[in-house]
Amino acid sequence: MTPGPTTHPTGAGRLGQNDEVLRALTALVSRWNSHDFQRTVATASGIDLDPTAVRALYFLGKEGGTATPSTVATELHLSRPSTSKLLARLSEAGLLQREVQVRDRRSVSVSLTALGRTTYEELFDAGLAMIDAATLDWLPADRAALTRLLPRFLNSLTIPPPQ
């Protein structure tokens, strides 16, 4: 007896290859965002930061170095008090500075310092080294395909998903 088609857990529709894609993406996001993985990236960079601080530096670096505390909280899925404590730790470590907005003196943004920018670049380079190691035995065409298709896939995702 041959197995039936792969279906959504609710029984709706055939998934085929998308089933494997979804499982792989879920595993990738889970692994990449895990505290152990973020700790490994920081250690590989010779940086002594907790995983949440690593994620904050990645986010700020990706955003050009500056963001509002509420944007950081939203991106990292943290409460405002947790975000405030995180930003205070990063500020005390000399990795970021708080700046009052010129247009609205009640608003504050946080920016990477020169040390924060250097630390972000070291973390980014460690991430690149991990990707290189993970794809070392891949054919150049496969690496090129991943480089081309992953951003394309990401840009095609809509929030919220279509009904």
Helices (H), the chain: 17-33, 35-44, 51-62, 69-76, 80-92, 114-134, 140-156
Show the tokens assigned to 128: 């690149």
What is residue 162's predicted lDDT score, i.e. its pLDDT?
A: 59
What is residue 161's predicted lDDT score, i.e. its pLDDT?
A: 61
**Spatial distance between the Cα atoms of 40 and 158, rounded to a whole number of angstroms:** 31
Q: State pTM to two decimals.
A: 0.76
User: For residue 138, what are the contacts with CB-CB under 8 A and spacing of at least 6?
Assistant: 146
pLDDT per position as a tens digit, 101-157: 777 667 889 999 999 999 999 999 988 998 999 999 999 999 999 999 999 988 888
C-alpha pair distances (Å), 129 with each of 41, 50, 147:
10, 20, 15
**Cβ atoms 22, 15 nearer than 8 A:** yes
Pick the residue with more confidence: 157 or 7? Answer: 157
What is residue 160's predicted lDDT score, i.e. its pLDDT?
A: 66
For the chain, the first-to-last Cα distance in angstroms comes to: 35
**Spatial distance between the Cα atoms of 98 and 108, rounded to a whole number of angstroms:** 7
Pick the CATH number of 33-123 from 1.10.10.10, 3.20.20.150, 2.60.40.420, 1.25.40.10: 1.10.10.10
